[in-house]
Amino acid sequence: MSFANILVHVDSKPRAAARVALAVQIALRAGARLTGVFAEKADPHYVGAVASWPNAQYTEAVDSARAAFEAATTALGEQVGFFDLNRGGDAEINRRFVELARTYDLVVLGQTHEAEPVPAKLPEHTINGGGRPVLVVPYVGNYPDVGARPLFAWNNSRGAARATFDVLPLLAEDCDALVVEVARKSEQRDEFAERLVANLAVHGVRARYQHFVVDEIAVMDTLLSAVSDHAADILAIGGFDHGTQSLLGHGAGTRHILAHMTAPVLFSH
């Protein structure tokens, strides 16, 4: 199934242009509708003890982001929309964004950065609670397209299975795919890995399989090294799987990838 309705997060900062450009390319390839949702932190306007919303700075930011989004999406014609989340605090932005994300086929977000006026845990909340595949674009670099050199992070878990097949609509027809299974010393290699490779072939994706055995704390760094070695343009991985880097706490692996990604990452939970 292809993506027909895509949501991309926008804000008033220059970095939003990179993820909007990628979202536009994906939408063009899929013939999909693209909606930009403005979500940015801001304080209410106070006159004495009386607060009002939105303040002038927020309104100016919305207008700026809307104009930039409309200019970047002209190639999509009428297949575009824009929505102002109209909240300025972390908790309300996270809650409303997740609720909105659940109604779309694919969600495109940016890797958060302390210099950006976006809730730091917006990707975490969306991956964990949205129920939809989430494509996170790194804070640094330009990514005009994805899918020519995918890397599948495999460990025979629910999330990995979801990510492997959720990413298929994003892949190029003649892509050079790699399936990487990184196991701890106490774990067995997945006996059905070849079945996965065979199923991908049925979907037109020719993939090679690599297996690594590492100490628990090195699982995600090994995956990131594989992304670099393969020159992958997208990583597909399960988010917040139980057991992933369990010594560091549930979700530690997902947070490590979110903090250190070097290519766009498709998370599924």
Q: What are phi and psi of 250, to 5 degrees?
A: -60, 130
Which residues contact residue 22 at a Cβ distance below 8 angstroms, ignoring those fewer than 6 apart? 108, 135, 137, 143, 144, 145, 146, 264
* pTM recorded for the entire structure: 0.93
User: What's the pLDDT at 188?
Assistant: 85
- Which CATH class for the 5-137 domain? alpha beta
Domain coordinates in residue numbering, the chain? 5-137, 150-268
φ and ψ of 191, to 5 deg: -70, -15
User: Residue 130 corresponds to which tokens in the numbers above?
Assistant: 């949205």
Distances (CA, A) of 87 to 59, 96, 118, 138, 225: 11, 9, 11, 24, 38
Predicted local confidence at residue 18, as pLDDT: 96
Given CATH 3.40.50.620, say whether it is the number of domain 150-268: yes
Do 5-137 and 150-268 show the same overall fold? yes
**What per-residue confidence (pLDDT) applies to 51?**
63
Which helix (H) or strand (E) covers residue 224, if one does? helix 219-230
Residue 97's pLDDT is 97
Residues contacting residue 218 through CB under 8 Å, at least 6 positions apart:
none
Q: What is the mean pLDDT of each run of 10 residues along the chain (269 residues)?
A: 93 95 98 97 68 84 97 98 94 97 98 90 96 97 96 93 97 96 86 96 96 82 95 96 49 91 96
